[in-house]
Amino acid sequence: MPPTPLVTDILLVGAGPTGLYGAYCAGFRGLRTVVVDGLPQPGGQISALYPEKEILDVAGLPRVRGRDFVAALLDQAGRYGPEYLLGRQAVSLEYADGRPRVTLSDGQVVEAGAVILTAGIGTFTPRKLPAGEEFLGRGLSYFVTDPQAHTGQNVLVVGGGDSAVDWALALGPIAKSVTLVHRRSAFRAHAANVTAVTEGGTCVVTDAEVEALTGDDVLRSAHVRVRGEDAPRVFEVDSVIAALGFVSNLGPLADWGLALRGRSILVDTRMRTSLDGVYAAGDVTEYEGKVRLMSVGFGEVATAVNNAAVALDPELSLFPGHSTENS
C-alpha cells in the first residue's frame, strides 16, 4: 500500500542555502513547509563540497565557514518547524484538484499548495577517478564531510581546481602528509591558494595521473604516472580524495514539462514557472539579467514564497511584514 500523502502548504525542492532561507520565509508567514533534497544532509553544495571553506560574499558576514553558515540557516528556519525529507529526489509531478502532487524517489507523495524549486545546479554527481573505483568508501572519496577523519593520515588529493587546492590547504595542518596530483602543469584554482599550497608543506605533482590504487581491505598505496617518467611513483596513502569536479543536470525535473533555457528554469517576476503552482528560485532559474549569486537567490525565494502565499490566500498582503515587528 502506498504511503499516505503528506499534505503541506509549501514544498521546497532543494535544501541548499536558498531552500533553507525559503523555509524560514514560509514559516514566517505561518505556512506549513516541507523541504526535500536528494543529498543525505541539508546545505546543498556547501555541505557536500566545501563545508570547511570560508564564504566571503554573504551580506553582513565578512567571512563564515560553510558548515557554520548552513547551521545558522537551519537554526533560522528551525523556529518554524519545517519537515525535512532528505536522501530522496522529487521524481514526478501531477495535479489533484488543482494542487501539485510530487512523488519522491522512495514512493512518498507530497501534496502542496505550491511547489518552489530551489534545486541549485540540479542533481550533481562527482566525476569519477578512472582508476581505483573499487576502493570507494574504503579509502577513496569524492567529498570531504569531516576533515578530522583525516587527522594523522597520509592523504593524496587529485585535481587542479579550487576544491582540490582548498582541501590540500585545509588538511595540511592535521594530516601526516598531503600530496596533490594534477594532470596539467597549470592549476584552475585561485592563484593565491595555488601559491600557498606550493610554498607550504604539500608535495605537488603535476603533469601526472593516478594510474592505480592498491590495497587489501582498505587502500594502501596510489600509483601515479608522471609524464616523461618510465615508471609510476608509488605513494603510501591512507586516503585519496578525488576532487575532479562534478556533472550536474536537472534530473527528473527535466521531465516535468517546465519551460527551460538550457538546464535552467524560466521564471517571471513573481518567480512563477510555466507550470501552475510551481515557482523556482536560486541558481536553477533563468531570466533576463540573471545574476547567479547566493544573495540573489535569497531575494528570489522570498519573492517566490510571498507570491505563493497570496496565491494560496488572496486575502493576504504580498508584503510579509518586518521580522522586528514580531520580536
Please indicate if the annotation marks 279 as binding a ligand.
no
Please indicate if the annotation marks 168 as binding a ligand.
no
Q: How far is CA 99 from CA 110, 132, 203, in A?
A: 10, 47, 57
Please indicate if the annotation marks 89 as binding a ligand.
no
Closest by CA to 121, choosing from 258, 285, 303, 298, is 285
The phi, psi pair for 170, rounded to 5°, reads -70, -35
Would you call 265 helix, strand, or coil by DSSP? strand
Would you call 49 helix, strand, or coil by DSSP? helix
> Cell 521564471 appears where?
267
Please indicate if the annotation marks 162 as binding a ligand.
no
Core vs surface per residue 105-115: b (16+ CB within 10 A) or e = eeebbbbbbbb
Please indicate if the annotation marks 75 as binding a ligand.
no
Please indicate if the annotation marks 50 as binding a ligand.
yes
Please indicate if the annotation marks 283 as binding a ligand.
yes
- Contacts (Cβ under 8 Å, ≥6 apart) of 195: none
If one counts every other C-beta atom within 10 angstroms of the C-beta of residue 314, the result is 6
Please indicate if the annotation marks 18 as binding a ligand.
yes
- Provide the residue type at 123 as one letter: T
Question: Cα–Cα distance between 205 and 199 in angstroms, integer?
Answer: 13
Strand partners, 180: 157, 204
Which parts are annotated binding residues for FAD? 18, 37, 45, 50, 90, 124, 283, 324
Which parts are annotated binding residues? 18, 37, 45, 50, 90, 124, 283, 324
